[in-house]
Amino acid sequence: MSSSPTAAEKGGRSEYGVALLLLGLGAWAIVDALGVTDTASRGPVNARTVPIAVGLLLILMAVLLTVDLVRGGRGEAEGGEDVDLSHGSDWRTIGLLVGSFAANALLIDSLGWPISGAILFFGTTYALGARHYVRMALISIVLSVGSWYLFFLGLGIKLPVGLLKGIL
Amino acid sequence: MAIVVGFVPRPEGHAALDRAIEEAKLRRVRLVVLNVSRGDALVDSRFASSSDWEAVKAKLEASGVEHEVAQTVEARDPADQLLRVAEETNAELIVIGLRRRTPVGKLIMGSAAQTVLLDADAPVLAVKAARD
Amino acid sequence: MDGINALIDGFGTALTPINLLYAVIGVVLGTAIGVLPGIGPAMTIALLLPLTFTLEPTQAFIMFAGIYYGGMYGGSTTSILLNTPGESASVITAIEGNLMAKKGRGAAALATAAIGSFIAGTIGTLALALVAPQIVKLAIQLGSPDYFAIMMLAFIAVTTVLGSSKIRGLASLGIGLLIGTVGIDPTSGQQRLTLGIPQLADGIDVVVVAVGLFAVGEALWIAAHLRRNPAEIIHVDGARMNREDWRRSWKPWLRGTLIGFPFGAIPAGGAEIPTFLSYAMEKKLTKHPEEFGHGAIEGVAGPEATNNASAAGGLVPLLTLGIPTTATAAVMLGAFQSYGIQPGPRLLDEQADLVWGLIASLFIGNVILLALNLPLATIWARLLNIPRPYLYAGILFFASIGAYAANTSTFDLWLLLIIGGLGFFMRRFGLPVVPAIIAIILGPVAEEQLRRALQISDGELSGLVNTPFSKVVYVIVVLLLVVPVVIDRVQSRRRGGDQGDQGDGIQDAPSLGHQHANQEGQ
């Protein structure tokens, strides 16, 4: 089950980053736990126990992972039914996706979901390579306005209306 | 000089191919048959399956015209791919198949044919499938 | 047979028009996402978790279970017509199923998959109805130490049984446990790992975690590696199952059910191992060995029955013990928690309407699924014409709306992006996602059991192992950890010791192209 040579080979040094992340998370868990004062619990197990145990597990895994990497082990990038690992990660697409996502998070409270959601959908379809602008715009607006009504009427959740206040 | 035809495995595509073969015979020029896909959906009904493609090749062989076939997947628009090939081969005629569609349907779905008609330097012959 | 009476009452619940409607929605949605590669039941249920804010639990679970079952049906259609599995559970089906379709036997392959799924699903659900009350009778006697032991077993099994690297599996488990710990500790009232951010005091919402890991993480990962080539879909016409096909299918259906159900009930990573076992078994038992590798119907009938039976089996530990064995089950457990229901032995008593209504609706859902899939498989396949940009944009769209709606705060959107990024990097570096999600959802429950067990024993650590049951479970845990390492050592010594990798996957699995072993369905 190793049909992902390119992604795995490129992994190389960046894999040590994973070990570093695990180490950091583990250290954070332990440091945070040491700051917790638990007077309510008796015996050896209290509010600190689980975070410390998890922190130790993460640090141990960081060490073992480093050993594994030094020995030449490589993380196997996850395949999938619609994933093509023969080319590397497409960072431009990822950047545009994250940008659209962030735009929605920044704009949702001021412009309202019907507009920010449409921006999100339009931006993500563009990022993923669609270029039929009319179709993209139509679907974006129908989806965002439709979902606003769906949440409002169907679930009783009022998503922000923003600029369209009084219209919807 | 050559004739470039955009093939799709649908009635209008076959109509376009038949017409292009006739034109190539009349004009005694090379015929370039192109089948392209953006490859953005898992299944593209405009992308000829290997059996469709074999049938196209067989038809061309039987017709006796000088020909060239290409099947490509590129992220760019299929119409752009067709236009680029037309330019490269210095095409004297582009043949495309046209679906019967309502104006609204065209607006939503976009149209590769429209792009070709508007942007092509060579004359474009648009062929529809026979009504059944 | 109290199970049977309760089940009849359950049909009363399931057959009300509104519940029937949700069952239909669930199976239709399930089939659709099953057909679409890249979208699985776990992701879909995660995206639908916001419905739990308003929907009745019974209706929500009827729909979720319909999605779970439907995904198994839909996945086979894509496998057979496209040679790209729609679900990881139908990877094995793709081998012989696609070859059958290429030989012009596609309709027969689709039929044996649909009927096999129906038979296995029905028998599996019946087994669930019969087994669940029995397990509850045993489970009701279990105490906190036993539960804690079972949860440890679930953690270790799901990390070590599948996957190419135990270290990465355990690392993923650790990350999950860490995320699960964020928030106010319910026992002591202390804030843990909240960084002083007030929105984190209540812990990270299960909607945000599940949607982030499965929907956003997966969509980003797929977006970075978009497949460009259109696959060749095989047109299917005529040639339904003939007498010979029936004769050759019915035994694999039953054997597949027999393998799938128990495997689904243990935390061994879902349907992958049992479908592979079923394939291997049918290959061995067939009277037509020459057809394997050229489109043998047994190779479709067996694994397809197996994956549906394993879906039914997976509901047993979920409903009776509150232990999820797959990603989908973990997300469903998350849904139970957001209703404030803790699945476990008392669930069958306290929420009898819910549980038996759910089980009854699974029988009904199976019938609907057969009707939807047997004649309409090729129509479902049209979904594959949807351009990917719209598909994955839709996932991000609904992920955002769901995460925002959880607390109507943009903080959750940023959190969603961070967790989505985590999901992306886990996929990138081979950290399996399933242990993480199970740890996030089950971790806090396990901690509660641990502390309750120690309260009972007055702080004595021996309180964790003072029951025979917990002792047995811990022995199994140790065996799971130690035996593969020992086997590995012995093997690598025989090979000359130069291959010290963690090759503990299925060694002789047929070449499946792009399939990771520890991925149960997004």
Q: What is the pLDDT of residues C141-190, one digit of tens each?
A: 999 999 999 999 999 988 887 667 889 999 999 999 999 999 988 888 88
Above 60 in pLDDT, residue C344? Answer: yes
What does the alpha-carbon distance between residue A99 and residue B20 come to, in Å, rounded to a whole number? Answer: 46
Q: Which of B70-79 are b and which e, b meaning 16 or more Cβ less than 10 Å from the residue's Cβ?
A: ebebeeebbb
Above 60 in pLDDT, residue C499? Answer: no
Give the chain C residue whose CA is nearest to the CA of B53: C232
Note whether C441 and C136 are within 8 A (CB).
no
Give the chain A residue whose CA is nearest to the CA of C444: A50
User: A104-118, C120-134, C483-497: which has the minimum mean pLDDT?
Assistant: C483-497
What does the alpha-carbon distance between residue C383 and residue C35 come to, in Å, rounded to a whole number? Answer: 7
What does the alpha-carbon distance between residue C305 and residue C317 come to, in Å, rounded to a whole number? Answer: 20
> Which of C209, C186, C516, C179 has its CA nearest to residue C333?
C209
What does the alpha-carbon distance between residue A103 and residue C318 come to, in Å, rounded to a whole number? Answer: 39
Residues of chain C neighbouring B41 (CB-CB closer than 8 A)? 230, 384-388
Residue A82 has its nearest CB partner, among B42, B75, B77, at B42
The mean pLDDT value for C422-436 works out to 92
Mutate to test the interface with B, among C78, C384, C390, C392 (most CBs of B within 10 A): C384
pLDDT in tens, B86-109: 999 999 999 998 887 777 766 655
In the structure encoding, which two tokens stand for residue C157, read together? 């099994």
What phi and psi, each to the nearest 5 degrees, are found at residue C57? -55, -45
User: B35-44, B79-88, C425-434: which has the minimum mean pLDDT?
Assistant: B35-44
> Which of C259, C289, C362, C332 has its CA nearest to residue C27?
C362
Could you give the maximum distance between any two Cα atoms of chain A, in Å? Answer: 66
Note whether C466 and C457 are within 8 A (CB).
yes
Predicted pLDDT of residue B128: 87
Residues of chain B neighbouring C379 (CB-CB closer than 8 A)? none
pLDDT in tens, C226-263: 877 777 778 776 557 889 999 999 999 999 999 999 99
Residue B40 has its nearest CB partner, among C36, C232, C389, at C389
The mean pLDDT value for C374-388 works out to 87
Note whether B68 and B98 are within 8 A (CB).
no
Q: Is B40 on the interface with A (CB under 8 A)?
A: yes
> Which of C491, C185, C437, C186 has its CA nearest to residue C329?
C437
What does the alpha-carbon distance between residue C275 and residue C292 come to, in Å, rounded to a whole number? Answer: 15
Local structure of C230: helix, strand or coil = coil
Give the chain A residue whose CA is nearest to the CA of B39: A129
Residue in the structure block whose two tokens are 């944009």: C393
Residue C514 and residue A125: Cβ atoms within 8 Å? no
CA distance, residue C92 to nearest chain B CA (Å)? 20
Residue A129 and residue B40: Cβ atoms within 8 Å? yes
Residue B109 has its nearest CB partner, among A130, A131, A135, at A135
pTM, to two decimals: 0.88
Chains in touch with B (3+ beta-carbon pairs under 8 Å) read A, C
Mutate to test the interface with B, among A93, A125, A128, A132 (most CBs of B within 10 A): A132
Return the ∠ at Cα A80 (arms to A79 and A83), rounded to 5°.
80
What does the alpha-carbon distance between residue C158 and residue C153 come to, in Å, rounded to a whole number? Answer: 8
Q: Is A31 on the interface with C (CB under 8 A)?
A: no
Predicted pLDDT of residue B109: 58
Q: Is B9 on the interface with C (CB under 8 A)?
A: no
CA distance, residue C38 to nearest chain A CA (Å)? 5
Residue C192 has its nearest CB partner, among A32, A71, A151, at A32
Residue A108 and residue C190: Cβ atoms within 8 Å? no
Total structural domains within chain C? 1
> Which of C448, C414, C451, C440 has its CA nearest to residue C182?
C440
In the structure encoding, which two tokens stand for residue C156, read together? 């270790």
Q: Which residue numbers of C have CB closer than 8 Å to B's CBs?
A: 36-37, 82, 84, 226-233, 381, 384-389
Residue B37 and residue C385: Cβ atoms within 8 Å? no
User: A86-100, B105-119, C38-52: which has the minimum mean pLDDT?
Assistant: B105-119
Domain hosting C135: range is 2-491+498-521
User: B7-21, C66-80, C182-196: which has the minimum mean pLDDT?
Assistant: C182-196
Residue B110 and residue A135: Cβ atoms within 8 Å? yes
CA distance, residue C196 to nearest chain A CA (Å)? 11
DSSP state of B41: B
Contacts of C231 (CB under 8 A, 6+ apart): B42, B43, C82, C83, C84
Residue A134 and residue B77: Cβ atoms within 8 Å? no
Burial of C273 (0-12, 13-18, 19+ CB in 10 A): buried
In the structure encoding, which two tokens stand for residue C211, read together? 């949607």
What does the alpha-carbon distance between residue C281 and residue C73 come to, in Å, rounded to a whole number? Answer: 22
What CATH class has B2-76+85-105+121-128? alpha beta
Q: Is A64 on the interface with C (CB under 8 A)?
A: yes
Q: What is the dihedral of CA C46, C52, C53, C54, to 10 degrees?
A: 140
Amino acid letter at C111?
A
Q: Is B75 on the interface with A (CB under 8 A)?
A: yes
Q: Is B58 on the interface with A (CB under 8 A)?
A: no
- Counted across chains B and C, CB pairs separated by less than 8 A come out at 45
Residue C192 has its nearest CB partner, among A33, A97, A143, at A33
Q: Is B51 on the interface with C (CB under 8 A)?
A: no
Looking at mean pLDDT, say which of B100-114, C31-45, C496-510 comes out highest: C31-45
The mean pLDDT value for A8-17 works out to 68
Local structure of B36: helix, strand or coil = strand
Residue B49 and residue C232: Cβ atoms within 8 Å? yes
Residues of chain B neighbouring C37 (CB-CB closer than 8 A)? 42
The Cβ-side half-sphere exposure at A19, using a 13 Å CA radius, reads: 21
Residue C222 and residue A83: Cβ atoms within 8 Å? yes
Q: How does residue C336 score in pLDDT terms, banded at 50, 70 and 90?
A: very high
Q: Is B77 on the interface with A (CB under 8 A)?
A: yes
Predicted pLDDT of residue B87: 92
What does the alpha-carbon distance between residue C368 and residue C269 come to, in Å, rounded to a whole number? Answer: 27
> Which of C212, C415, C208, C209 has its CA nearest to residue A102?
C415
Residue B42 and residue C388: Cβ atoms within 8 Å? yes
Note whether B7 and B35 are within 8 A (CB).
yes
Local structure of A36: helix, strand or coil = coil
